[in-house]
Amino acid sequence: MSEQATARYTNDFLKEVEKNVEEGHWVKMCMQCGVCAGSCPLGSAWEHPPQEIFMMIRAGKREEVLTSDSMWMCTSCYNCMVRCPRQLPITHIMHGLANYAHRLGLAPKGQPTRETATLFWNNLIKKGRVNELTFSLALYFKDGFVQGIKNALNMQSIGLGLVMAKRLNPMEILGGHGVKDQAGLKAMIAKAREIEDRKKGFSA
């Protein structure tokens, strides 16, 4: 399904989105008024605003939609959602689309939001708690060692300030604290993923 070619303006891709994207069944309800596009505070950063993405989905532009970085721009301000005259959960659809594109491996490489989210997730599922120190360092060093040092130096004063204020514990570098039942957490996430994969037709 995910690999099949979609003909233009047939409902194939729309159906794929309805099936696999969170809140995707709302896409068909858009009436192209454009209030979402105009309401987005990051609007000018979007190559395709939400309403246009919805139209592209209906037009069967699978590749263009899933490789787009537009939905990665969403900051969850919910302006579009409260204003949408059809009450589409636009924010959720944007995240759903981004997640789906990511799972398919079609999301743009190096897209900062995507990378950050990946690091966040990987960090989180290790022990069930976000380790802020290792997460920050991972972010600083994601573009190489030299850049990482530069980033770290730039953030030096903030980091020290956080340590002084006891908001950051340097000892967390050793692994840090986590949830009590870590095995249980892993099992839970594995099960969730299995269910999601089964529902959305991912093989792996």
Partner 1 sequence: MSASIATNQTILVVGGGISGMTAALEAAECGKQVILAEKLPTLGGRTALLYRYFPKMCHPVCGLEINLRRLKGNRNVRVLTMAEVSAISGTRGDYTATLKIAPRYVNEKCTACGDCSNAVSAEIPNPFNYGLDKMKAAYLPHGMAYPQRYVLDPSIIGTPDGEAAKAACKVGAIDLGMQEETIELKVGAVVWATGWKPYDAAKIQPYGYDRFANVITSVEFERMCDPHGPTGGKILRPSDGKEAKNVAFIQCAGSRDENHLRHCSRICCMASLKQTQYVREAWGDEGKSTIYYIDIRAIDRFEDFYQMVQRDSTVSFVKSKVAKIVQDEKTGDVVLHGVDTEGYNRYATPHDLAVLAVGMEPSIKGVSLPADIVLDSSGFIETAGDGMFSAGCATNALDVNRAVQNATAASLRAIQVINKTAGTEAAGGAARMGGSIMAEMKTAAYICSGCGIGERVSTAQMAKIAQKEGKMALVREHACLCDESGVQTIKDDLEKEAVTHIVIAACSRRAKTEAFNFPTVAMARANIREGVIWSQPDDPEHAETTQEMADDYVRMGCAEVKKMKVPEGNPNRATNRRILVVGGGVSGMTSALEMAEAGYDTVLVEKSGALGGWAAQLVKRVPSKQPYADPADTGVAELAARVAAHPRITLHLNSTIAQTNGAPGRFSIDIAQESGATVTEEVGALIQATGFTPYDMMKLPELGAGKSPNVVDQLGLEKLVKAANGGAVKRPADGGEVKSVVFIQCAGQRDEAQETEGRHLPYCSGHCCATSIKQAMYFKDANPDIDTMVMYTDLRVPGTGEDFYRSGQQKGVTFTKGKTSSVEAAGNTCKVSFKDLILNEDATIEADLVVLATGMVANSGVDIDIPEEDVAKMETKPISILNLNYRQGKDMPQLKSGFTDSHFICFPYETRRTGIYAAGPVRRPMDMTQAIEDATGAAMKAIQAVENASLGRAAHPRSGDLSYPIVRLEGCTQCKRCTVECPFGAIDEDEKRFPVFNESRCRRCGTCMGACPVRVISFENYSVDTVGMQIKAVDMPDEFSEKPRILILACENDAYPALDMAGLQRKAYSAFVRAIPVRCLGSVNTIWITDALNGGWDGVMMMGCKKGDDYQCHFVKGSEMASYRMSKVDDTLKQMGLETERVASYEVAITDIERVPQLINEYAEKIKEIGMSPMKGFA
Stretch of residues binding partner 1 (CB under 8 A), selected from 8-16, 120-128, 158-166, 190-198:
8-16
- How many residues belong to the site for partner 1 (CB under 8 A)? 32
Residues 20-49 interacting with partner 1 (rule: CB under 8 A): 28-29, 31-35, 37-39, 43-44, 48-49
Under the binding rule (CB under 8 A), the answer on residue 7 touching partner 1 is: yes
- The least CB distance from residue 19 to partner 1, in Å, is 13
Q: Is the Cβ of residue 81 or residue 107 nearer to partner 1 in the bound state?
A: 81
What contacts 24+ positions apart, CB below 8 Å, involve 173-176?
173/133, 173/134, 175/127, 175/131, 176/127, 176/129, 176/131, 176/133, 176/134
Under the binding rule (CB under 8 A), the answer on residue 121 touching partner 1 is: no
Under the binding rule (CB under 8 A), the answer on residue 5 touching partner 1 is: no
Under the binding rule (CB under 8 A), the answer on residue 6 touching partner 1 is: no
Under the binding rule (CB under 8 A), the answer on residue 76 touching partner 1 is: no
CA distance to 24, 127, 131, 189, per residue, from 178 (Å): 34, 5, 9, 15
Q: Is the Cβ of residue 51 or residue 91 nearer to partner 1 in the bound state?
A: 51
Q: Is the Cβ of residue 59 or residue 104 nearer to partner 1 in the bound state?
A: 59
Question: Residue 189: exposed, middle, or buried by beta-carbon count in 10 A (0-12, 13-18, 19+)?
Answer: middle
Phi-psi region of 48 (alpha: psi -120 to 50; beta: other; left: phi over 0): beta
Under the binding rule (CB under 8 A), the answer on residue 161 touching partner 1 is: no
Residues 84-113 interacting with partner 1 (rule: CB under 8 A): 85-87
Contacts with partner 1, residue ranges (CB under 8 A): 7-11, 14, 28-29, 31-35, 37-39, 43-44, 48-49, 51-52, 55-56, 58-59, 61, 82-83, 85-87
